[in-house]
Amino acid sequence: MVASVVGIDIGSTGIRAVELTGASKPQPTITRYHSVPLPEGAVARGEVQEVNTVAEALKLLWSSGGFATKDVVIGMGNHRVLVRDLALPKASKARIRESLPFHVQDMLSVPVSDALLDFYPIAEVDEGEGPQVRGLLVAAVKASVEGNVKAVQLAGLRPVEVDLIPFALSRVIYRGQSDPGVVVQIDVGARTTSVVVTILGVPQFVRIIPAGSDDLTQAIATRLPTAIEDADVIKRSHGLAPSGVEPGYEHAVTIIREVATEILNSLRNTITYFVNTRPGLTVDRLVLTGGGSELIGFGPALGELTRLPVVRPEPLGAVTFARGLSAEDFSRTRGEYLVALGLALGSAA
């Protein structure tokens, strides 16, 4: 474990980073956070497409943000990451990881040699076949991770870990809470939407949906038609307007509703699937994060569809801020840095 580490969230439109010291302490300290934009196409659905462009942006991020370490944690969480339930014979964590290629080939759409595998243990069980460890298999296509790692290394940084973005968010959202109950964590990004169900803060179920807020923008631009920049402005200003649509924008609002409803239905179906496979469990609430969730009316529509309370995270009770920084300023970023913070917190594992 390193004394100081930076979590890096490489998104479609920009890179966000948070530097943390004392990640293993009850109250670690945020010492710096900063972001820089990325040009269109440099990153697509969480995968670096233009390694040199992203590397130059990372260099700018480090110089302008004043980060004091080159040790970084990278996040992954696009549609080419698979997370599934898995039970394996009880063994050490190292031995379980060594055995994964022999247990998971039938679960993968690519050869084992083309995948990065990990296992997140949840509980020990004994159902008559001897002691087993029940947990989550995490499998990522190597090619979807290698570009991100290469860009970071080309920028002169040292990747100390690659972590799953939904797990990173869970660390932030539930840190310091004594009894968070059964919670569905939903993060709506530009191109992907992740769903994580946690019990007492421990992830039990993960799904990554290959759709996000950019799908709305693209649909408006294509079907009106209009420029992509104008489509984004229309999306942000109107959203799921419940009433009083401005004259001339009726068709645009209809498009937004149609595409957003597809995402909302996918979320409802995912939650229903989990509940149906875990009889006796009752979901307490939905925690909504991500830039896409800022769409006007999205939260209320999700609550109405699922008949569950929808809340925003309050993640800063268990972190402190270095001199010159404040929780108030960090909160004003409206969750922009939550993924990066969660990745940095994972360095304590």
Contacts of residue 293, defined as CB under 8 A and 6 or more positions apart, other chains included, come to 186, 187, 188, 299
Q: Record the pTM.
A: 0.88
Report the pLDDT value the prediction gives residue 130, as an integer from 0 to 100.
83
- My answer on whether 126 and 236 are in the same domain is no
Token output for 284? 């307490």
- My answer on whether 213 and 302 are in the same domain is yes
Mean pLDDT value across the chain: 90
Whether 15 maps to a domain, the answer reads: no
Whether 61 maps to a domain, the answer reads: no
- My answer on whether 188 and 288 are in the same domain is yes
Domain that holds residue 129: 79-139
Report the pLDDT value the prediction gives residue 190, as an integer from 0 to 100.
86
- My answer on whether 132 and 185 are in the same domain is no
Question: How is 147-186 classified by DSSP, letter by letter?
Answer: HHHHHHHHTT-EEEEEEEHHHHHHHHHHTT-S---EEEEE
pLDDT at 348 over 80: no
Report the pLDDT value the prediction gives residue 202, as an integer from 0 to 100.
87
Share of the chain above pLDDT 70, in %: 97
pLDDT at 342 over 90: yes
Whether 11 maps to a domain, the answer reads: no
pLDDT bracket for residue 48 (50, 70, 90): very high
Token output for 288? 């909504």
Whether 112 maps to a domain, the answer reads: yes
pLDDT in tens, 120-175: 999 888 877 789 999 999 999 898 899 999 999 999 999 999 999 999 998 888 77
CATH number at residue 135: 3.30.420.380
CATH number at residue 255: 3.30.420.40
Whether 335 maps to a domain, the answer reads: no
- My answer on whether 129 and 248 are in the same domain is no
- My answer on whether 234 and 299 are in the same domain is yes
Query: What is d(CA 278, CA 138) in angstroms, rounded to the nearest whole number?
Result: 20
What is the domain count for the chain? 2
- My answer on whether 307 and 189 are in the same domain is yes
Angle between helices 165-174 and 338-345 (to 10 degrees): 90
In single-letter form, the type of residue at position 257 comes to: R
Beta carbons within 10 angstroms of residue 240's beta carbon: 18
Report the pLDDT value the prediction gives residue 80, as an integer from 0 to 100.
84
pLDDT in tens, 87-118: 999 999 899 999 999 888 888 888 899 999 99
Report the pLDDT value the prediction gives residue 176, as an integer from 0 to 100.
57
Whether 267 maps to a domain, the answer reads: yes
- My answer on whether 207 and 91 are in the same domain is no
Mean pLDDT to the nearest integer, 59-87 = 93
- My answer on whether 119 and 206 are in the same domain is no
Whether 71 maps to a domain, the answer reads: no
Query: What is d(CA 119, CA 175) in angstroms, rounded to the nearest whole number?
Result: 22
pLDDT bracket for residue 82 (50, 70, 90): confident
Report the pLDDT value the prediction gives residue 178, as an integer from 0 to 100.
60
Report the pLDDT value the prediction gives residue 125, as an integer from 0 to 100.
87
- My answer on whether 248 and 184 are in the same domain is yes
- My answer on whether 134 and 255 are in the same domain is no
- Among 280, 295, 311, the domain boundary falls at 311
- My answer on whether 209 and 298 are in the same domain is yes
Whether 60 maps to a domain, the answer reads: no
